[in-house]
Amino acid sequence: MKMIVAIVSRDDSLKVARGLTKENFSVTRLATTGGFLMAGNTTLLIGTDDEKVPAAIEIIRTHSQARKEMLSSTVSNGVGMFSSTPVEVIVGGATVFVLNIEQFEKL
C-alpha cells in the first residue's frame, strides 16, 4: 500500500480529485499554503495499492499539467491613470510524493 501526497494548485484541485474518484481512487483534499509564495494550494492524500500508483499519477498529470496563461496586470502610469498589460505566467503543475504505508485499517 502507498500514500500519494500530491500538491496541486487550487484551480486544478477539483478536476484532479474528480478525475481520481471517477477511477475509484479515494481522495482527501486539504487546503494548504505554500511556504515560499505563501499562496493557497491544495494537498491531496490518496491511499492506494502499489500497482495503481502509476495510474493515479497519470490522472494527476492530466488534470494539473503546467501551462502558460496570460494574466492582465494593472500598472499606474504615475498620473493616476492605469493601464492593463498582459503578463505570461506559468500555472498548474504538481509536486508528488509516494510514501510506503506500513499498516492500513478502517475501524
Q: Which residues bind ligand 2BA (CB under 6 A)?
A: 7, 34-37, 39, 41, 93, 95
CB 11 within 8 A of CB 91: yes
CB 61 within 8 A of CB 12: no
3-state secondary structure of 24: coil
CB of 47 or CB of 93, closer to ligand 2BA? 93
CB of 6 or CB of 56, closer to ligand 2BA? 6
* Closest distance to ligand 2BA from the beta carbon of 90 (Å): 9
* Closest distance to ligand 2BA from the beta carbon of 94 (Å): 8
* Cα 3 to Cα 48: distance, rounded to the nearest angstrom: 6
